[in-house]
Amino acid sequence: MAFGRWIARRPLSTDVYSGSELTGTDEASRRTVRAIIIATIITGAIGIVTDKMIPELPVRIICAGFIITALLLLVSSYIEKKAEKKATVRKNGGQARGISPVQAVVIGVLQGVGTLPGISRSGSTIAGGQLCGVNREAAGEFSFIVSIPAILGAFILELRNLGAVSSSIGAIPVVAGCVAAFAMGYSSLSWLMKMIRKGHLEWFACYLIPAGVLGMIFLK
């Protein structure tokens, strides 16, 4: 509704719809929609560049991406918990403020970087949101929302290879793989959102750092 009123240039309502920081008010919804557009444009621009880099990336660089993801999660978790102890306005006071343009730029850049192998898209965007002052749960919700255009964009880029793949392995295996990937992706995101609400994202660093270090040592 807020998006429609924004496009039609009608006055935004001041009603409070829910406790969500992203869509709790019309103004917050408008800011969030604008942020989605900004983040998607930035991610798309970076994704076009990284798409050309991926085939040439050494395995050790990919393993280094595990460590980068872990560090992002640890730093963002530290900042969030430190802010909670000091009872600052880091969590935006629970008010519905949406995502600012600056926050959208940071999240869009990190999501673009997250298109590289070894770097978690979800982890980098959530950490980016927390680093620039977004509530942990709101950062998780926004990460999920901006993943939709990013995944669709990546799918469109891969369509150029669909003919060769389907001709070599058949259409049915391709469709089955897409359905299985969607099911696993949905269940993984549902589980990830539970982890976000509990504030335990730093737990992923327990395997990301060892995996990254071992990979850089033993893989070529």
- CA-CA distance, 80 to 134, in Å (whole number)? 9
Residuewise pLDDT in 10s, the chain (220 residues): 454 444 444 444 444 455 567 877 778 888 899 999 999 999 989 988 888 888 788 888 889 999 999 998 888 888 777 766 664 444 444 566 789 999 999 999 999 998 888 898 888 898 888 888 888 888 888 988 898 888 777 777 666 666 665 666 766 776 777 778 778 777 777 777 777 777 677 788 888 899 999 999 888 7
Contact 34, 19 (CB under 8 A): no
Q: What are the residue ranges spanned by the domains of the chain?
A: 40-218
This prediction has a pTM of 0.77
Q: Please, what's the b/e burial string for 153-183 (b: 16 or more CB within 10 A of its CB; e: otherwise)?
A: beeeeeeeeeeeeeeeeeeeeeeeeeeeeee
